[in-house]
Amino acid sequence: MSGAALGIEIVVVFFLALIILHRYGDFKKQHKLVIVATLLAWHLCFLIVFILPLDVTTTIYNRCKVNLNSSPPESTTSNVSHTTPAPRKHECFKPWSYIPDGIMPIFWRVVYWTSQFLTWILLPFMQSYARSGGFSITGKIKTALIENAIYYGTYLLIFGAFLIYVAINPKFNLQWSQLQTIGIAAANTWGLFLLVLLLGYGLVEIPRSHWNGAKKGYLLMKTYFKAAKLMTEKADAEENLEDIMEEVRKVNESFKYNHPLRKCVDTILKKCPVEYQERMGRNMDDYEDFEERPNTYPTEKNLAKLHKQVIYSVQRHRRTQVQWRILLEQAFYLEDVAKNETSATHQFVHTFPSQEPENKIARYLYTPTVEWYWECLLRPWFHRILAVILATFSIIVVWSECTFFSTRPVLSLFAVFIKLAEKNYNYFYIEMACFLTIFFLSICVYSTVFRIRVFNYYYLASHHQTDAYSLLFSGMLFCRLTPPLCLNFLGLTHMDSTIAKSLEQPTAYTSIMGSMKVLSFIADGFYIYYPMLVVILCVATYFSLGTRCLNLLGFQQFMGDNEMTSDLIDEGKELIRREKRKRQRQEDGENRRREWKERYGNNREDSSRNRNVQADQKESSFTETNTTRLASKYTRSNGRNERDRVELLHDAEPLDFNADSVGEDPLDSDSGRYQPGGRYLSMSRSRIFDDV
């Protein structure tokens, strides 16, 4: 299995990153370079998390070989009673995932420096390029360079000041490797600062979200709250789109087809929704000599700004529309769960059929009975048990973060688990323990990245609704958070030479980071004591201090004991009820039309055939006497009236008394003119054709 485990995990992690990116990004509409850059960043970060346990087991095996070679041979005796060979104390077994020497250092260097190049140079430039409203590649590159000039200039200024300080001070004699270590330490320090903030939130919020997931009433109230906020955002997005489209209409009318900037206007029009394009038209009929008129047209810079606003407003409008439909489905489903909990038949009944095509295998296995037992009985207990397990992991992480600097005695629980497995050289247990530990830490950090929202500039929306700027920004965050996350994990398990200074052989990942003795105040101070702040952040998250602060600042958050939250819940409940009635009316209308077509579709064809036969007979009798012609004339007239009346009866659509024009209150059924289903009593099936 020499290197096979490494290759398998690289392929598996690639497809994992591709699946997650497909959920958030849109491969068809977004630029290919944006998709490739984001996929590369996500793949490298996930790869570090999955490969690091293999590095740990390989390092433990190499230590075992070193100890075995350095230990003196056991003395042999001629005593007959000791002829049975005793097991060797330091017998080493090669793990199944062993990676040969020399591969891991090269692999980590390639992965680490590629991720750093992405997060500090390429992705910020691509962010500005994707957000630019330029009409050509050259214009977008120019805009991106101007926007990133301050960004890159700040780092160059800091680095230049540091080099000048080192050159002037005679105490420092830094080499290139030491400068490289200082750069790595600076990047990891920034990442660790942000890592602890996100980790403190995720350690509490993830178990709490699963515990609240067992409360159907809680989830339903929170969905109503989200519906009220999303409706406000949806209305604001529609209003903003209308304003932008009005500006586009004015620009479109001012620029004629012979203007040099007409191509820019056409590019803007292509980004507009189809209904607005049809409404505005092109106004390419009139010829106008723009050179003889005063220059009152918008400049190319103004058009680029308008182009940028159009892209943003259309993306935001589309995202809110999709999120509203998804939220409606979620609210309807939670209401169905609440109704079916008291069902005596133990059959899950949906108010509305699913709009997505159902899989035949899933429909065969996931029957209404199975669905009822899962949704109403098993799922709440599953969430409670999972919440308890995750809360236990969180407590272990918090304890280990506060005590991992102590090597004698070993207080970090993760280090204790790894040491016990290392004594028996149980590599499978070591890999599973390392994988579960770093995977839980990654879930706590990465899930927070997916949840946070910085106004409308950064927001990861599922169902292919994330814009290019947010995708690239998430790749930047992942590349900056993953290296300090792995160093923190190695510190928790005492596999880092900075923590356990007695280590004879560090991991390959630690070796590429260099020796932190160059910056002892960071290695012995910040890296050790700063993670203890996770306790304060966990306490603040548990008591929802951040949520309360946002409420005070005017950003409405879901809080059960807040009056504004109750008002938004009531508003959201009314919105969901209104949408439910609207969908019910649509489905009732479709069902009535389908029933009408099934009942009277064949009768309409028969009446049309009889009408043609009668017309032929009357036309042949028209050639008889004048008296007969007059009679046949009246007969044709009466027949035509009868046929018209029959045709009107057949072509009439069923009346929908639940339509919006009628109002919410149905017609009074006691009047004898209305039956359920929107039909008159006089139009019953038995008497409708009696007069034909």
Query: Which segment of 60-69, 226-235, 248-257, 510-519 scores lowest on mean pLDDT?
Result: 510-519
Output DSSP code: residue 122.
I
On the question of pLDDT at 692 being above 70, the answer is no
Q: What is the pLDDT of residues 247-281, one digit of tens each?
A: 999 888 888 777 888 899 889 999 999 888 888 76
Instruction: Kindly tell me the sign of the dihedral angle through the C-alpha atoms of 41, 42, 43, 47.
Output: positive
For residue 679, the cross-strand partners are 675
Q: What is the pLDDT of residues 310-334, one digit of tens each?
A: 999 999 999 999 999 999 999 999 9
> How confident is residue 503, by pLDDT bands cut at 50, 70 and 90?
low
CA distance linking residue 190 with residue 406, whole number of Å:
24
On the question of pLDDT at 689 being above 60, the answer is no
Give the rounded distance of the alpha carbon of 66 from its chain centre.
47
Give the number of residues written for the chain: 692
**How high is the pLDDT of residue 73?**
53
**How high is the pLDDT of residue 357?**
63
Q: What is the pLDDT of residues 193-231, one digit of tens each?
A: 999 999 999 999 999 999 998 887 899 999 999 999 999
Structure tokens that stand for 653 in this block: 């659509």
The amino acid sitting at 73 is P
CA distance linking residue 634 with residue 631, whole number of Å:
5
**Alpha helix segments (H runs only) across 341-367:** 360-365
CA separation, residue 227 to residues 55, 531, 539, 557 (Å): 47, 37, 29, 13
**How high is the pLDDT of residue 482?**
93
Mean pLDDT over 35-44 rounds to 95
Strand ranges for 430-511 from DSSP E: 453-454, 458-459
Helix (H, G, I), strand (E, B) or coil at 90: coil
On the question of pLDDT at 151 being above 90, the answer is no
Read off the pTM: 0.78
Do the Cβ atoms of 140 and 129 come closer than 8 Å? yes
**Alpha helix segments (H runs only) across 216-273:** 216-254, 262-271
**How high is the pLDDT of residue 274?**
87
**How high is the pLDDT of residue 635?**
43
Q: Is 463 left (phi over 0), alpha (psi -120 to 50) or beta?
A: left
Phi, psi of 138 (to 5 degrees): -65, -40
CA distance linking residue 443 with residue 508, whole number of Å:
24
**How high is the pLDDT of residue 232?**
93
On the question of pLDDT at 668 being above 80, the answer is no
> How confident is residue 658, by pLDDT bands cut at 50, 70 and 90?
very low
Q: What is the pLDDT of residues 49-63, one digit of tens each?
A: 999 999 999 888 888
The mean pLDDT of the chain is 79
> How confident is residue 657, by pLDDT bands cut at 50, 70 and 90?
very low
Ranges 2-16, 65-79, 635-649, most confident:
2-16
- What is the gyration radius of the CA atoms in the chain, in angstroms? 36
Output DSSP code: residue 531.
G
